[in-house]
């Protein structure tokens, strides 16, 4: 006689996890959430008062091989935050505010302790971003994943008024690039970073240039820019914002070109900001070519605003009031 548990799937562990996370997840709910967790579908009231032509904006993503670092360190409290914040930033640069988030957690053998840490990270970031965590799926798949491995993916849905969508169509020659600092690698470039760094360093080694252990530097949370940028997008200063880019895989140029019409080009001052030490270490230890560094990593820039020259000072001031340290890092020129 064979049982499901003997096949590697523990339904009791799944039920234990649900008991642990129900209350924290409910803490993200607002009046628009109509169903408790555990239903076959999640319900969110479509109440868009004050928005003339509401447009739903969605994005789905994962966190890549940053998961390997979390598993090696047995520290899982940041991964959930990474995923939510990444998704929030992706729709933020379209002008949207987040409404709700759904997650997918897959593993070889379900550890309620590990899964709880990850999901509490979802909860923390959803609350920080005024976003409801309304649904998710936990899958235990022995044979697909090794016992300690897991993967996560998330989907976010937000809202924007059609007339306030940022898609780069207003970008023009002379627009100024204003950069906002990243907190490290965020969620991109970890395959290269692991290959370079883990052949030379242990994750628990303290590195003076970083002011922390290597593991802590690599697990630094992919930050959200919602609290500092969204108020500007909904203020009188929005007229000066012609486009925004979230710097993920593909680097500064690759991502910013996505919102720049083909008739224009980016001129970037690569010396306009100081790169965080983690990138210098990766490049030095791995002898990584500069072109690869620029294409793989954010190099310390997590989000870029493309701003009309007339509004640069006002936008810089507004960002500083939000405790940002913005910097001018280039401009838009004609593509010759």
Q: How many CB atoms lie within 10 A of CB 165?
A: 14
Mark which of 143, 164, 185 sits at the end of a domain: 164
The closest alpha carbon to 234, from 96, 68, 76, belongs to: 96
pLDDT tens-place string over residues 186-218? 999 999 999 999 999 999 999 999 999 999 999
- Looking at the fold, whether 124 and 243 belong to one and the same domain comes out as no
* 6 confidence band (pLDDT: 50, 70, 90): low
At 296, which CATH number? 3.90.650.10
**d(C-alpha 319, C-alpha 157), whole Å:** 25
At 118, which CATH number? 3.30.1330.10
| 155-170 average pLDDT score | 96
Name the average pLDDT for the chain: 94
pLDDT tens-place string over residues 289-325? 999 999 999 999 999 999 999 999 999 999 999 999 9
Q: What is the pTM of this model?
A: 0.95
155 exposure class (CB count in 10 Å sphere: 0-12, 13-18, 19+): middle
pLDDT tens-place string over residues 116-146? 999 999 999 999 999 999 999 999 999 888 8
Q: What pLDDT, on a 0 to 100 scale, did the predictor assign at position 2?
A: 61
Q: What pLDDT, on a 0 to 100 scale, did the predictor assign at position 274?
A: 96
Q: What pLDDT, on a 0 to 100 scale, did the predictor assign at position 317?
A: 98
Residues facing residue 153 across a β-bridge: 62, 104
Mark which of 136, 164, 192 sits at the end of a domain: 164
Two tokens at 197?
Answer: 């760094």
- Looking at the fold, whether 191 and 248 belong to one and the same domain comes out as yes
Q: Is residue 169 part of a domain?
A: no
Q: Is residue 4 part of a domain?
A: no
The closest alpha carbon to 133, from 75, 56, 67, 80, belongs to: 80
Question: For residue 9, is pLDDT > 90?
Answer: no
Range of the domain at 256: 176-334
- Looking at the fold, whether 141 and 181 belong to one and the same domain comes out as no
**CB of 43 closer than 8 Å to CB of 35:** yes
What is the percent of the chain with per-residue pLDDT over 70, rounded to a whole number? 97
What is the percent of the chain with per-residue pLDDT over 90, rounded to a whole number? 86
* 335 confidence band (pLDDT: 50, 70, 90): confident
Two tokens at 276?
Answer: 């965080």
pLDDT tens-place string over residues 43-73? 999 988 889 999 999 999 999 999 999 999 9
The closest alpha carbon to 295, from 326, 268, 317, 316, belongs to: 268
Domain count, the chain: 2
- Looking at the fold, whether 220 and 102 belong to one and the same domain comes out as no
* 14 confidence band (pLDDT: 50, 70, 90): confident
Q: What pLDDT, on a 0 to 100 scale, did the predictor assign at position 3?
A: 60
Residues facing residue 55 across a β-bridge: 160
Question: For residue 1, is pLDDT > 60?
Answer: no
Question: For residue 79, is pLDDT > 90?
Answer: yes
- Looking at the fold, whether 203 and 78 belong to one and the same domain comes out as no
Q: Is residue 313 part of a domain?
A: yes
Q: Is residue 246 part of a domain?
A: yes
Question: For residue 147, is pLDDT > 90?
Answer: no
**CB of 308 closer than 8 Å to CB of 246:** no
Q: What pLDDT, on a 0 to 100 scale, did the predictor assign at position 17?
A: 87
């Amino acid at each position: 006689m064979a049982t499901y548990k003997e096949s590697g799937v523990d339904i009791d562990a799944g039920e234990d996890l649900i008991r642990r996370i129900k209350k924290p997840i409910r803490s993200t709910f607002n009046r628009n959430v109509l169903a408790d967790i555990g239903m076959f579908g999640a319900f969110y009231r479509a109440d868009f008062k004050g928005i003339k032509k509401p447009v739903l904006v969605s994005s789905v993503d994962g966190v890549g091989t940053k998961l390997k670092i979390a598993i090696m360190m047995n520290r899982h409290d940041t991964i959930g935050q990474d995923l939510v914040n990444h998704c929030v930033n992706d729709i933020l640069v379209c002008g949207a505010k987040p409404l709700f988030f759904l997650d997918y957690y897959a593993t070889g053998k379900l550890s309620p302790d590990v899964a709880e840490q990850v999901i509490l990270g979802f909860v923390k970031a959803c609350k920080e971003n005024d976003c409801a965590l309304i649904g998710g799926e936990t899958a235990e798949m022995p044979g697909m994943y090794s016992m300690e491995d897991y993967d996560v993916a998330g989907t976010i849905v937000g809202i924007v008024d059609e007339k306030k969508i940022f898609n780069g169509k207003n970008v023009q020659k002379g627009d100024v690039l204003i950069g906002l600092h990243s907190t490290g690698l965020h969620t991109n470039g970890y395959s290269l970073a692991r290959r370079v760094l883990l052949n030379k360093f242990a994750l628990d080694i303290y590195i003076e240039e970083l002011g922390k252990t290597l593991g802590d530097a690599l697990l630094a949370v992919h930050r959200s820019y919602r609290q500092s940028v969204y108020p500007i997008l909904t203020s009188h200063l929005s007229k000066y914002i012609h486009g925004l880019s979230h710097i993920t895989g593909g680097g500064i140029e690759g991502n910013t070109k996505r919102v720049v019409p083909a008739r224009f080009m980016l001129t970037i001052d690569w010396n306009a900001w100081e790169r965080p030490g983690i990138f210098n270490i990766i490049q030095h230890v791995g002898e990584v070519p500069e072109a690869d560094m620029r294409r793989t990593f954010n190099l310390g820039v997590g989000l870029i605003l493309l701003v009309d020259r007339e509004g640069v000072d006002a936008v810089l001031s507004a960002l500083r009031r939000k405790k940002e340290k913005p910097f001018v890092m280039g401009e838009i020129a004609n593509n010759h």
